[in-house]
Chain A
Amino acid sequence: MTCYFPIPPSIKESNLEDKILGSLTLLNFPNNFKKSNQKKIYKGNIFLGIYILEKNSWKLLKVFKIAYKEFKEIEREKLNISDNEMAVVVISKNNNFPSSCTNLPNPSSLRIDESPIAERASYNFSYQGKQTSFQGEYPKKMASLSKASFFGFDTIKGLKTNGKIINFILFINLNNCSERQSNDIINIYDPKKKNILFELKTRENMISVHNLSLLYSKINNKTLFLSSKSKAYIALILSIDLETYNLSLEHTHPPAEMAIGMDRHLIVKPIKNNWVI
């Protein structure tokens, strides 16, 4: 399974002196392999093509080269693009990226065998020298979906009694076709009453960032559910403590992760039937 790597956004908020800065760290080395297969490791350079959306096309913004066993940190601020426009990294073993395309090029893979851990990059957010990270990816298969839906929950939001905290929710949607840019709505609702409390605007091929603390000013420690009937998202919750500037970041599990076994997919349908509203 190959992957794309959308570049995390930077976030400007009136309560914060500076921006929360998004960056992505990639490594030219396979994530996971059987030791007996290490002779198969690709030792050449890899190239990171950064594509942004320009009208209805993917436009190549920049190419970085990474040598074997080297890291590259891609900071959004240094790309001279807006804070949350879609910018996506495509890995290739050759520097032959098209300058413009409708479908993102197929990414290369550094995998050398069937070891189970997917190819990942570090997604980082930092504020005044403090940083939070998680290991993530956007599977190519997910970027090729023509029809999908989304169910999530907000229980991982940070809570603080004196309220000096901001929780952001980030919805990442990537489609390899640049023409897919239709708008969408994510419903936020109370699972017991199923009454929709908020509607968040999102779009295909966009990372939308929403300040939950602003939205939830009158809601306390309740878990609310999130759903979309028409698009798939990776949802991240980023919290910042306004006193210590500590940050926290995690993603919500998709329903399929609540089970294992050959029939694990059978859990998804009833959950989505119940909760995608």
Chain B
Amino acid sequence: MKIFDKKRLPYNLRILGSHIFKNSFNPFSLKSRLFSPDKVSDFFIWSPNFEKIEFIAENINALVSGKVQEVVHNFIFYNSSGEFIREYKYETKEFFSKIILPTNISRDKYISFLHFANSKSSLKDILKKVGTKKKLKISKQSRGYTIFSAKKGFIGSTVHGNLGGITSNNEKTLKQRSLFIYTPAYLFSHENIYELVFNNPTDRNLLIKVTSLSSQNLREIIIKPMGTDFIQIKNFEGGINIESKLPICRPFIFKNSPPSNLGFDVFHG
């Protein structure tokens, strides 16, 4: 028999308890957990290396309400140093839209962008309309997919976003904690050239160190808030460790990016 059921505690008390006992593992700030923002975005990658980049945007409000609803998909681009470049807007009523992103945004090899689906009603309002009565601790999360095509006629390679937790007011809900290691279960091959692309969704500079599984130092980078950088891996066989203060620090792995014709792939490391 369960004597103590933490689910019966008030929500804020559970958050505070978790903050005291497990905070060092939680990627999100205490503030964002207590006061859920309306919406947050993952942090996505754009690159001028590709002739075509598409984005699959979800109209979450329409999916929850069950009917088509107008939405403005707003894309906000930041250069590799984390400075705002421009916005791009796309209006639709569709549940899912495959949107071709502009091609001339930056000359930086990799940059990052946010995506927000802006509607008249908030997700919380729509959930109340469909019968949810309680005061909600929920944020709509943009988790779209980006499709990278080396040439316009080729099929693209698809990857979902990196955990971003960035609000539409540009508040950062992710926090850097103590040092974490992330090791993708991926065997790098010396026949291929990889670019591990990282972005920084926090409000402090982010140091990332990549070593081999045998602790050979491969490279370190420092990324400014909202910035993007990459580490190239070539002539290397084996696994890697990624060390940073982000509990979740997963790179986008671009394998054989164009102009290479060895077989392009992009995936979430």
* A contact residues around B158 at 8 Å (CB): 156, 237, 248-250
Complexed CA–CA distance, A62 and B262 (Å): 34
Query: B155 touching A241 by the CB < 8 A rule?
Result: yes
Q: Number of A-B pairs whose CB atoms are under 8 Å?
A: 209
* B contact residues around A250 at 8 Å (CB): 145, 158-160
A33-B181, A71-B239 known; A274-B138 Cβ under 8 A: no
Query: A116 touching B140 by the CB < 8 A rule?
Result: no
Q: B176: CB under 8 A from chain A? A: no
A31-B183, A115-B180, A266-B127 known; A246-B155 Cβ under 8 A: yes
Query: A155 touching B96 by the CB < 8 A rule?
Result: yes
| Residue from B25, B26, B94, B187 with most neighbouring chain A CB atoms (10 Å) | B187
CB neighbors of A among B56-75 (8 A): 56, 58, 60, 63-66, 68
Q: A103: CB under 8 A from chain B? A: no
Query: A122 touching B186 by the CB < 8 A rule?
Result: yes
Look across to chain A and name the residue whose beta carbon is closest to the beta carbon of B140: A259
Query: B267 touching A134 by the CB < 8 A rule?
Result: yes
- Seen from chain B, the residues whose Cβ lies within 8 Å of a Cβ on chain A are 11, 14-15, 22, 24-28, 33, 36, 40, 56, 58, 60, 63-66, 68, 94-96, 98, 123, 127, 130, 132, 134, 136-141, 143, 145, 147, 153-160, 165, 178-187, 213-214, 239, 243, 247-248, 250, 261-265, 267-269
Among candidates B63, B153, B186, residue contacting A160 with C-beta atoms closer than 8 Å: B153
A interface secondary structure, majority = mixed
Look across to chain A and name the residue whose beta carbon is closest to the beta carbon of B157: A248
Q: A235: CB under 8 A from chain B? A: no
- Seen from chain A, the residues whose Cβ lies within 8 Å of a Cβ on chain B are 25-27, 29-36, 38, 69, 71, 73, 113-117, 120-122, 129-135, 153, 155-156, 158-162, 165, 191-192, 221, 223, 225, 237, 239-241, 243-250, 253, 255, 257-264, 266-267, 270-271, 273-275
Query: B250 touching A117 by the CB < 8 A rule?
Result: yes
Query: B25 touching A35 by the CB < 8 A rule?
Result: no
Complexed CA–CA distance, A271 and B247 (Å): 30
* B contact residues around A159 at 8 Å (CB): 155
Query: A161 touching B127 by the CB < 8 A rule?
Result: no
* A contact residues around B138 at 8 Å (CB): 259-264, 266-267
| Residue from A29, A121, A133, A255 with most neighbouring chain B CB atoms (10 Å) | A133
